[in-house]
Structure 1
């Protein structure tokens, strides 16, 4: 188990089809019994995808904070977390607003990674 999710649900090497192309998040979490499946391309479709996580690296700030965030929202991925490489490794948790089609920062959205690793985050 990985923080309450089965090993088959937590994937580190899976490209996601976001329509018109794809991205490979640093980590993705899938619904139980709904592993990644190929879509129109060599990338997996978004059916069953609960969460995409990106770790911001020097040089990827704009891609992770703007481009991927926008494309993941358009693809309907319910949650997007951005992990900062700051002193506490802050995780900014976003949820998709069904009405606007954009991500909103969760009310308690910024948490240190250590806190998230010691809990079972509700993402289903």
Structure 2
């Protein structure tokens, strides 16, 4: 059993609906806070293994994106009344400006989530549905339980749900051709390889 010292995080006494500004007022914490439909959503900090996959994906994506784009993460996306923070976001380079903490869905080309035990439902169901409804063209999901895998999704023109492009596991190479070209050897994503 994990005991969390919530005394280190003070929450407002009463909140009808959380807004992005409320997140900015929370003190630093290892926990990840997002807003889902106006309510505060809290998940445990990611594991070292999660972060190792995240870092490897960031490097591979950064080397493959066109010059007009940049890889950031975690970056908050304005999906009012939700404010979600994907592990990685590929966004237009011109959106990165001093003092800016929030991007619009139209500025994101790709969002990536690495699934952790504490974020399974959000990363597999809630977040892709929300990202697709907001019109973000591409979504990738990396998982490491029960095995290492990468699944890529694309949003067909006029659609509100993603279509799976492919799923690849260790021993396979993901030949991604959109929204940019990159070949990802899935076994190479493992931090303990």
TM bracket (short chain): 0.7 to 0.9
- Bigger helix fraction: 2
User: Structure 2: 5+ residue runs without aligned partners?
Assistant: 1-58, 181-193
8 Å Cα contact 2:73-2:87 kept in structure 1: yes
Q: Does 1:115 align with 2:173?
A: yes
Mapped to 1, the partners of 2:96 and 2:104 lie a distance apart of 7
User: What TM-score, normalized by structure 2, do the two folds share?
Assistant: 0.51
How does the TM-score come out when normalised to structure 1? 0.76
Q: Residue 97 and residue 120 in structure 1: after superposition, are their counterparts in 2 closer, same or farther (change >3 A)?
A: closer
Question: Aligned-residue CA RMSD in angstroms?
Answer: 2.8
Gaps of 5+ in 1: none
Q: 1:61 to 1:30 in 2, by over 3 A?
A: same
Choose between structure 1 and 2 for higher RCO, CA contacts under 8 A separated by at least 6 residues. Answer: 1
Higher Cα radius of gyration: 2
Aligned length: 116
Distance change >3 Å, CA 59–CA 47, structure 1 → 2: same
Aligned partners of 1:12 and 1:28 also within 8 Å: yes
